[in-house]
């Protein structure tokens, strides 16, 4: 009887070391601003497999059962953006997040902070090129594959192009071609000009840039636009 009473007064803790843990996935405040229009898809890769979930500004946190240990988390804004730039057109507005989370306790949390992985270059020409005789294109070889895009200038000689992520050694040329036979009339090393102006392709959030082009004589001036969440949200969603 005394033994039974002693057992009744004790709490026997269950060993839950081998039980799955819960990982709370929550959007950062900056990401919630982005996710007002599009949800954020999150992929969780752990020892037991792969899980997928969606979070948005209305439901900024979701929980998922994961295996204890390292969990690789990837998230991106589900706005239809692709990870590779198609030939002949500007790249998509790609916002991504990646992290490895060590899950040891029964509950862990991760904050998803989306990063801007594209750069918008705003071009302005001192006079509009004659499309009947020439055309302007931007040609590059970024980290993944070759990329090329024709510039469609407005009547004021202005346009903008979204570029994919580049490396410091990537080629980025502003070229003028003959509209008759595609002969190269002139080119300019825009990649070098960006680097000299202080552009950082290794930044967590890629900045934008303004490029002013004088055609006669040919001169190119580059200005880096520091990126902030407010400016990015207005320009890039």
pLDDT of residue 8: 43
Query: Six-digit token pair at 126?
Result: 């001192």
Say which DSSP state 85 is in: P
Fold agreement (19-116, 118-236): yes
β-strand pairing of 208-215 with 118-125: parallel
**pLDDT of residue 5 exceeding 60:** no
| CATH fold of the domain at 118-236 | Immunoglobulin-like (2.60.40)
pLDDT of residue 18: 62
Residues 90-99 have pLDDT tens digits of: 889 999 999 9
Lowest mean pLDDT among 168-177, 194-203, 227-236: 227-236
Contact 23, 109 (CB under 8 A): yes
Residues 129-188 have pLDDT tens digits of: 777 888 899 988 776 567 889 898 887 888 999 998 888 777 899 999 998 899 999 999
**Architecture of the domain made up of 19-116:** Sandwich (2.60)
**pLDDT of residue 114 exceeding 90:** yes
CA geometry: angle 196, 118, 236, nearest 5 deg: 115
Q: Which run of H or of E encompasses 55?
A: strand 49-55
Averaged over 53-71, what is the pLDDT?
94
Domain borders along the chain are 19-116, 118-236
Instruction: Compute the distance between CA of residue 201 and CA of residue 165 in angstroms, rounded to an integer.
Output: 7
pLDDT of residue 227: 65
Residue with more model confidence, 157 or 55: 55
């Amino acid at each position: 009887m005394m033994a039974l009473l002693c057992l009744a007064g004790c709490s026997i803790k269950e060993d839950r070391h081998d039980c799955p843990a819960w990982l709370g996935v929550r959007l950062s405040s900056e990401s919630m601003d982005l996710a007002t229009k599009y949800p954020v898809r999150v992929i969780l890769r752990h020892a037991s497999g792969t899980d997928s979930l969606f979070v948005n500004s209305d439901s900024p946190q979701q929980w998922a059962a994961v295996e204890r240990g390292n969990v690789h988390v990837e998230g991106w804004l589900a706005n239809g953006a692709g990870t590779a730039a198609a030939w002949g057109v500007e790249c998509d507005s790609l916002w991504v997040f990646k992290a490895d989370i060590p899950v040891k306790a029964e509950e862990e949390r991760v904050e998803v902070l989306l990063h801007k992985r594209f750069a918008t270059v705003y071009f302005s020409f001192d006079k509009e090129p004659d499309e009947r005789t020439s055309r302007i294109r931007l040609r590059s070889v970024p980290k993944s594959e070759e990329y090329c895009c024709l510039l469609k200038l407005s009547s004021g000689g202005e346009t903008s192009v979204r570029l994919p992520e580049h490396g410091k050694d990537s080629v980025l040329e502003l070229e003028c071609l003959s509209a008759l036979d595609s002969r190269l009339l002139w080119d300019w090393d825009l990649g070098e000009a960006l680097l000299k102006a202080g552009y950082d392709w290794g930044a967590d959030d890629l900045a934008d840039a303004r490029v002013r082009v004088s055609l006669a004589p040919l001169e190119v001036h580059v200005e880096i636009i520091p990126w902030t969440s407010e400016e990015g949200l207005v320009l890039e969603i």
